[in-house]
Structures are given as C-alpha cells and as structure tokens.
Amino acid sequence: MKKLLKSGNPYIWLTAGTLTVCLLMIGGLIVLIMINGLGVFWPHRIAKMTLQDGAVVLGEIAKRESIPHQKDSYRTKLKVGNRDVYGMDFRWVDNANIVSCEYPTESLVFERREWGNMYGFLKGLKQGDDIKPVDLKEMTVLLGTSRALFKKIRRIEKKEIGNINYDMEKYRLELKRLTFEQPTERIQKKTAAIRAHIDALERSYREKEDMLTGLYTRAREKEIVALLADGTEKAMPVLQIIRVYAPNKMGFFAKIGFYFEKLWEFVSGEPREANTEGGIFPAIFGTVMLVLIMSIAVVPLGVLTAVYLKEYASDNIVARFVRISVSNLAGVPSIVFGVFGLGFFIYFIGGGIDKLFFPESLPSPTFGTGGILWASLTLALLTVPVVVVATEEGLSSVPTSIREGAYALGATKFETLWKVVLPQATPGMLTGMILAMARAAGEVAPLMITGVVKLAPSLPLDSHFPFVHLERKFMHLGFHIYDVGFQSPNVEAAIPMVYTTTLVLLFTVLILNLTAILVRNKLRKWYSTTSI
Amino acid sequence: MVQHNIDIKRLKIPEPIVVITDLSLYYGKTLALKEITLDISKKKVTSFIGPSGCGKSTLIRCLNRLNDLIEGVTIEGNIKIDGQDIYAPAIDVTALRKKVGMVFQKPNPFPKTIYENVVYGPRVQGINKKSVLDEICEKALKKAALWDEVKDRLRTSALDLSGGQQQRICIARAIATEPEIILLDEPCSALDPIATAKIEDMLVDLKKDYTVIIVTHNMQQAARISDYTGFFMLGTLVEFNITTEIFTNPREKQTEDYITGRFG
C-alpha cells in the first residue's frame, strides 16, 4: 500500500478521474440541452386514440411513463392542442384505457397565430351557410394570399403607423419645448407650423386606420372549417392560420425540410403568444448588441486601469489594496451590480441627462429608465476585474529585455509602453475581453433591473435617426429563458422552447467567443509584422 | 597580493571620451561596483572581461543609465561622457541613450518587421519621412553586415530570423540612432561560432565610426577584437591596459590566473 502511494500512480488516477467527471458533466449538460432542444421542431406523427368510454382524442404523443405504485401500467401524455376548445394543451391517458390507436394520414396540424396548434381534419371553406370542400393544395394557395395580406397589415401597423407615431411624438415634444421659451412672434409661428404638421399626421393616421379596418374585415371573411377529433366543427379565419401540414403523410426528407424551415423561423422571427411561440430574433439581437456595447466599454476601462496598476503605480500598500479590491469585485453577486446600475447609472446619470437634454418629455424618462446602454455599462463594471487581471498578466509576459531594448534606443517610458509593450500585451487584453464577453452574455440578474423586458416593441437599432437607440429597452436570451420557462401562462407547452432558447444562447456565446478568438489570432500576427 | 599603483589605476590613453572616476554602485545595501576609475578611448574597441557577477555588465549599464530602471540602485562617484556628467540632474536621459546605444546579451528584436526594428530609434526621434527612414535602414543594415541577407524581406517579422541575424538586427537598430558609443553586453554568448565570427568582423569595422565597449566572457574574443581590456573581479577593476599587454604581460597575479584559465 505504501509502495503504491509512493509510486505516484494513485495521484494520476485521482487527477485524471476528476477531469473525466468534469468533462462528463459538461458533456452531459450539452447533450441534455441538445436532445431536448433540437427535437422541438421535428414534425411528430399525430395519433388518434379511441378510449374505453368512447371518446376520441387526437394529438402528438409527448411522453410515456409508468404509473407510480402500479405494476406494468403506463400512461401517455398527449399534446391535444386546441387550447381555445379544451382549455389546455396536454392530456394524460392511461394506456389501459386505450382501445385503439392509429395514425390517420388525413390528420392535420393547423399552426395558428393564437391559441397554439390545432389538431384535426380539414372540412372545407365556409361560403355562407355551406361548406365547400378544399384539399391541401388549394389550402396552400389560400394560405399564400392570406400571408401576403398579413404582411401588408403588419407593414401598415408597424412601419407606416409606427413612423407616424414616431413623428407625432417628435412634434409633440418640440411643441412642449417651445412652451418653455418666451412666446415671441417667431415662436408662435413655429408653433403654428408644428400644429399644422400634427394635423396632417393625424389625418394620414386616420386614413391608415380606415385602411387597416378594411383589410381586417376582408381578411376575416374567408373562414375554413376544421373537424376535431370528437366530431365537433370549428370555424376560423384563414388569416389566423400560419401553416397547415400533415405530418403522417410526410416522408423523411420532407420532415427535414420542414425542420429547417421552422428552425429558421425560430431564429429570425418575432415572438408570438407571450413568447411561447414564434421566433426569438429580438432576444438574439439584444444579447449580441448588449455584449458588444459591454466590450466597447469594458476594454478601455480595464486596460487603462491595468496599465496604471502594473506600469506606473509603485508596489506599495495602496496599490496592493486596489489590486485585491479589483479581484474581489469579481466575487460580488451580480445582482448587487444591478442595484448599483439602477441607482447610479439610471437614476443619477440617466436622470441628470434627462433634466439637461430631454426636459420636454419629463416626467416620462428618456435615459432615466432602464435601457441597453445602462445594462451594458452595468455588465462592463461587473466584468472589469477579468479584463484588469488578464491585461496585467499580458503586461507581465512582455520580457524585460524587450523593454530595455526600447529604453536603450532613447524611448521614453510612454513610448516604450505605447509602441512596444502594449502591442505585445494585446493578446492578453483580448483574452480578458473574451472572458468578459463569456461572463456578460450569460448574466441575467443585473439586467432584470437595468432594462431587459419580456417584449420590446422595437429593436435598439432601426431606420430612425440616429439609428442606434441606446436608451431603448431590449430583449435578452437569458431573460427570455427565465420568462418563457417560469413566467409564461402556459409553462408546459413552453418547456421545449426553453431548451431551444438555451441552445441558441450557448451558440450565440460560442460564436461571439470564436469571433473574438479569431480576431485575437489575427491581431497577434498583425502586430508582429506592422509598425504600431 | 594586490597592489594598486596610481599610474595603473588611471591608464593614460589617447582621446578619452568616457571618463569614470571613483564609481561605486549599490543594489540596495549590496556593493556591486567598488571605486572604478577608468578612461575609454574614442573610436577604439574596449572590452571588459571577468568571471560572472564581477560587475562588468553593471558598469556598462551605468553608461547609458539603464540601471535607473532597477529600484534601489544608488551610485557614487561620477561618469563623464564628452566632458558632461551624465548623472547631473539636468541631463536628459533619453538624449543620453540616443548617444550611447546598447546591444544586449540575448537578441531582443521587437516583434515587428525587420524594417520597423531598425527604424524604431529614428521614429522615436520624430523622423517620419519614408525616404529618410529607408536610407537610415539601409545604411544601418549595411554597417551591421546584414543588408545582403535581408534586403529582400525587410517587411517580414524580425522574429523569423536566426539568432545571429537577430543580434545583428539589434546592432543595426542601435546604429540607426547614430550613437557615438555602442555598448555590447556579451553579444555573442547565445550564438554559434560562425555567427560570432561575423559579428566580430563587423565590430572591428564599426571602430571606424564608433567607440565600442564590449563585455565578454570569451577571452579569445577580447584578445581578437579589442584595443583595450579591463579585467574585473568582485566589483573591482583589477587591471586595465592595452589588450596585448594584458594577455602577454599581465601585471596582476589575479589577471594572469584568470587568462591562463586557472579559475573563472
């Protein structure tokens, strides 16, 4: 035994074993998320079950599990959809109760803009009191026209009416600003001109509204009738339906095509139905933009701090205290930073900016409320220790001989630092930035009080001058996960979305990091061959 | 027995450019150089030999005040270059370092192109005109006997060169600032004999324009290239004389023991 311990082998096993456990945990985590997240968009078969009491249910089989305390008995969780009819999406069925189970080829999934999926059969198009039968092909044509109509409606709602509202708000604020000034003749003239503008805008607004009403009525005219599993008929406007498909008829490749179509919709679309359906594009956009602004803020802050600490500050008690404090800052709970951001950035600085530059919109705040800028700066504070430590290490790694070489050529301390030391320490700084980005992308708690929202009406980047709107609230993948998984009215149906969103978050962080690593390697090469 | 004769302590030499008088240096409380008195002649090669830790590197680092960078160094006595006390408070250290160039033990080219390495000094001095810089670069590389080897790849990284070439880049870099004195701190200790031979030839050529002070461990090297040689031990200058004298007719027992290889 003693001999074995002395040989050192057990320690190798110990370290290797620990590494294996760590790898397994990380691997397991990713695999679990992948399994749960990647399967969401796969079109599952629709089962039609006849139960012992004569009832017929139609839906996707979501889960099968044994009933506790009863031997050899199972129950099945069926996603029956039709939330507007049944009140809930899922239904448990005891396997003992199932008389027969089949997969009818004609059964369809109606993906709707509201109320989730509907499972059933297509009866036909409603025409007055009659129902004219249609097949899937005709249905596709119908859906095409309704999609074009929907796009038009959305464009009017979001773009045209949005622009009118934007201009109206601008003029309203200008009008208010004018009331602060002395009512000279010039001002009165201006006021009158603005009022005329507002009147014109209001007129065009009413025109658009009329147009919209017309479009909506036209859209609602066409209704289709679906036959549900229990034989009831359900009529709904074609406009409500996004797509209709028959998973039982689909071949493998059709399913793959369908899968990627849905996946693309997920990453590029906007959320629907309290975020439980549709896409998560605004959240991806918000996350990326947040991390980028954070990086822009954190790098100069951290690098300058580190340069002073390492190069200029003498190694006395104060410097050591500062260094320890900076390192300890990394251990402060992130929510504390959130509170600080709320108190300092939002109320103090944001409030100050509002008073100085946006007095006309008070009491409703412009910068004095949560927004992407304040959230980014809060995260920058949170991650600054990482950058400081990495930069200090980068600076230490520059050999004394290189510094002496520069000094011996008559360079001053600053010239040596700026032209020789800093370029060589750049990889260290970028490593710090990469670590900071990884940390910031996953942070949610401080965002919740500095500007993240469940649903942001507009992105922080758009076509209105000045294009970047740093005061706007934003969506974030991390918060989206929390919101969909735990705050949504329909948690059960939303759980697959949680996994998929998590997967997207992981990928986003991965892509951000890979980009930063590529940039670092490029820079490393570049610095070794250019004059800077 | 060591017996210092006043005449030996300060050897009479032609055209002294560096005049060192009673120089003592402490690292904290440790004495590293003890009352060095020594003149160095203009446009000659002067070499310092002696066992490790004898203070020869410390001495040449005093000549361009590179020891200022080390904390806790105190200096007594004085050094005059061109009649100017270089430790006077009014002296501009960066100007001094432009006048007194230095090449280090390990090649330390900057991680930049060959061209940018050579013109670094002129750039720091504020020369930015490309034609002037090109000319300086070519001249310096020619003097460092490297031009023919690298003229086609001036824009590649200096780190891709061999050790000997890197060291010559460092010499060219020092030459490019147009110094009067070039200090070399064991420039060949990391190089093979062929690279060493190239650098030695070059140093002899450099004598035409510059005062060269070289620290070396290699006694043959000192004998081959230098006009004057100083032998150091434990922070003191044991003997300083014309090189041929030192190697053929040393006055001190310690010098004789060292150069005949009895210790060191």
* A378 phi, psi to nearest 5 deg: -60, -45
Q: Which residues of A make CB contacts under 8 Å with B?
A: 399, 401-412, 415, 419-420, 423-424, 527-531
* For chain A, counts of helices (H) and of strands (E): 18, 13
Q: What is the 3-state secondary structure (H, E, C) of A60-98?
A: EEEEEEECCCCCCCEEEEEECECHHHHCCCEEEEEHHHE
- Does the distance separating the beta carbons of B120 and A406 come in below 8 Å? yes
Q: Is the peptide bond before B14 cis (omega within 30 degrees of 0)?
A: no
Does residue B238 fall inside a structural domain? yes
State the CATH architecture for A281-526.
Orthogonal Bundle (1.10)
Q: Which residues of B touch A423 (CB under 8 A)?
A: 111
Reported residue count of chain B is 264
A351 burial (CB, 10 Å; 0-12 / 13-18 / 19+) is middle
- Mean pLDDT, residues A39-60 taken together: 86
Using CA atoms, how far residue A216 sits from A156, A221, A426, in Å, is: 12, 9, 58
Does residue B17 fall inside a structural domain? yes
Does residue B157 fall inside a structural domain? yes
pLDDT given at position B6? 45
Question: What is the DSSP annotation of A227-295?
Answer: E-TTS-EEEEEGGGEEEEE-TTT--HHHHHHHHHHHHHHHHHS-EETTTTEE--HHHHHHHHHHHHHHH
Q: What is the 3-state secondary structure (H, E, C) of chain B?
A: CCCCCHHHHCCCCCCEEEEEEEEEEEECCEEEEEEEEEEEECCCEEEEECCCCCCHHHHHHHHCCHHHHCCCEEEEEEEEECCEECCCCCCCHHHHHHHEEEECCCCCCCCCEHHHHHCHHHHHCCCCCHHHHHHHHHHHHHHCCCHHHHHHHCCCEHHHCCHHHHHHHHHHHHHHCCCCEEEEECCCCCCCHHHHHHHHHHHHHHCCCCEEEEECCCHHHHHHHCCEEEEEECCEEEEEEEHHHHHHCCCCHHHHHHHCCCCC
Pick A465 or A248 by higher pLDDT: A248
Read off the pLDDT band of A304 (50, 70, 90): very high
- Does the distance separating the beta carbons of B69 and A407 come in below 8 Å? yes
HSE of A393, CA atoms in CB hemisphere, 13 A: 11
Which range (A303-312, A428-437, A489-498, B133-142) has the least confidence? A489-498
Q: Is the peptide bond before A282 cis (omega within 30 degrees of 0)?
A: no
Contacts of residue A501, defined as CB under 8 A and 6 or more positions apart, other chains included, come to A37, A280, A283, A477, A480, A481, A484
Does residue B219 fall inside a structural domain? yes
Same fold, A46-120 and A281-526: no
- Does the distance separating the beta carbons of B104 and A404 come in below 8 Å? yes
- Mean pLDDT, residues A92-99 taken together: 84
Taking the C-alpha atoms of residue A413 and residue B88, their distance in angstroms, rounded to an integer, is 20
Give the N- to C-terminal CA distance of chain A in Å, as an integer: 61
Q: What is the 3-state secondary structure (H, E, C) of A301-347?
A: HHHHHHHHHHHHCCCCHHHHHHHHHHHHHCCCCHHHHHHHHHHHHHH
A185 burial (CB, 10 Å; 0-12 / 13-18 / 19+) is exposed
The CATH code that applies to domain A46-120 is 2.30.30
CATH number of residue B83's parent domain = 3.40.50.300
Contact between residue B111 and residue A423 where contact means Cβ atoms under 8 Å apart? yes
Give the N- to C-terminal CA distance of chain B in Å, as an integer: 18
Reference B35, options B190, B191, B208, B237; nearest CA is: B237
Percent with pLDDT over 70 in chain A: 99
Query: At how many degrees (to 10) do helices B193-206 and B130-143 cross?
Result: 110
Strand order in the sheet with B16-27: B30-41, B16-27, B73-81, B84-85
Using CA atoms, how far residue B104 sits from A29, A404, A407, A408, B53, in Å, is: 53, 9, 12, 10, 16
Q: Which residues of A touch B156 (CB under 8 A)?
A: 529
Does residue B5 fall inside a structural domain? no
pLDDT given at position B5? 45
Residue A20 has pLDDT above 90, yes or no: yes
Name the closest residue on chain A to residue B172, using Cα atoms. A409
Contact between residue B150 and residue B141 where contact means Cβ atoms under 8 Å apart? yes
Name the closest residue on chain A to residue B118, using Cα atoms. A409
- Does the distance separating the beta carbons of A399 and B173 come in below 8 Å? no
Domain that holds residue B63: 11-259
Residue with tokens 């900016």, as numbered in its chain: A353
- Does the distance separating the beta carbons of A424 and B177 come in below 8 Å? no
Contacts of residue B233, defined as CB under 8 A and 6 or more positions apart, other chains included, come to B50, B51, B54, B254, B258
**Both tokens of residue A20?**
């294996």
Residue with tokens 């074609």, as numbered in its chain: A238
Residue A44 has pLDDT above 80, yes or no: yes
**Both tokens of residue B257?**
């023991």
- Does the distance separating the beta carbons of B95 and A405 come in below 8 Å? no
HSE of B81, CA atoms in CB hemisphere, 13 A: 21
What does DSSP say about strands A74-79 and A90-94: parallel, antiparallel, or unpaired? antiparallel
HSE of B113, CA atoms in CB hemisphere, 13 A: 16
Taking the C-alpha atoms of residue B249 and residue A384, their distance in angstroms, rounded to an integer, is 66
Best of B92, B124, B169, B171 to mutate (most A CBs within 10 Å, chain A): B124
- Mean pLDDT, residues A238-257 taken together: 87
Query: At how many degrees (to 10) do helices B130-143 and B163-176 cross?
Result: 130
Most confident of A16-20, A440-444, B203-207, B256-260: A16-20
pLDDT given at position A381? 92
The amino acid at residue A76 is T
pLDDT given at position B28? 87
**Run of H or E residues at A298:** helix A281-307
Domain count, chain B: 1
The amino acid at residue A148 is A
Does residue B159 fall inside a structural domain? yes
Contact between residue B105 and residue A420 where contact means Cβ atoms under 8 Å apart? no
CB pairs A-B closer than 8 Å: 76
- Does the distance separating the beta carbons of B174 and A401 come in below 8 Å? no
Does residue B6 fall inside a structural domain? no
Q: What is the pLDDT along chain B (264 residues), one digit of tens a residue?
A: 344 444 456 777 888 888 988 899 998 888 888 888 888 998 899 999 988 888 888 998 999 898 888 888 888 888 999 888 988 888 888 889 989 999 988 888 888 889 989 999 898 888 888 899 999 999 999 888 888 888 898 888 888 888 888 988 998 999 898 899 999 998 888 788 888 888 888 888 888 889 999 998 888 888 889 999 999 988 888 889 899 888 888 888 888 888 887 765
**Run of H or E residues at A201:** helix A185-221
| Out of A411, A412, A531, closest to residue B112 by CB | A531
Which range (A223-232, A390-399, B15-24, B85-94) has the least confidence? A223-232
| Out of A410, A423, A531, closest to residue B97 by CB | A410
HSE of A341, CA atoms in CB hemisphere, 13 A: 28
Q: Which residues of A touch B189 (CB under 8 A)?
A: none
* B17 phi, psi to nearest 5 deg: -100, -35
The domain locations on chain A are 46-120, 136-245, 281-526
Contact between residue A479 and residue A450 where contact means Cβ atoms under 8 Å apart? no
Question: What is the DSSP annotation of A423-451?
Answer: HHHHHHHHHHHHHHHHHHHH--HHHHTTT
- Does the distance separating the beta carbons of B94 and A412 come in below 8 Å? yes
DSSP state for residue A159 in the 8-state scheme = I
Reference A291, options A428, A476, A449, A426; nearest CA is: A476
Q: Which residues of A touch B94 (CB under 8 A)?
A: 410-412
Read off the pLDDT band of A247 (50, 70, 90): confident
- Mean pLDDT, residues A89-95 taken together: 84
- Does the distance separating the beta carbons of A410 and B177 come in below 8 Å? yes
**Both tokens of residue A102?**
């089949």
Contact between residue B109 and residue B117 where contact means Cβ atoms under 8 Å apart? yes
Residue A61 has pLDDT above 70, yes or no: yes
Q: Which residues of A touch B102 (CB under 8 A)?
A: 404, 408
Contacts of residue A17, defined as CB under 8 A and 6 or more positions apart, other chains included, come to none
Q: Which residues of B make CB contacts under 8 Å with A?
A: 64, 66, 69, 94-95, 97-98, 101-102, 104, 106, 108-113, 116, 120-121, 124-125, 155-157, 159, 170, 173-174, 177
pLDDT given at position B1? 39
**Both tokens of residue A117?**
């999926």
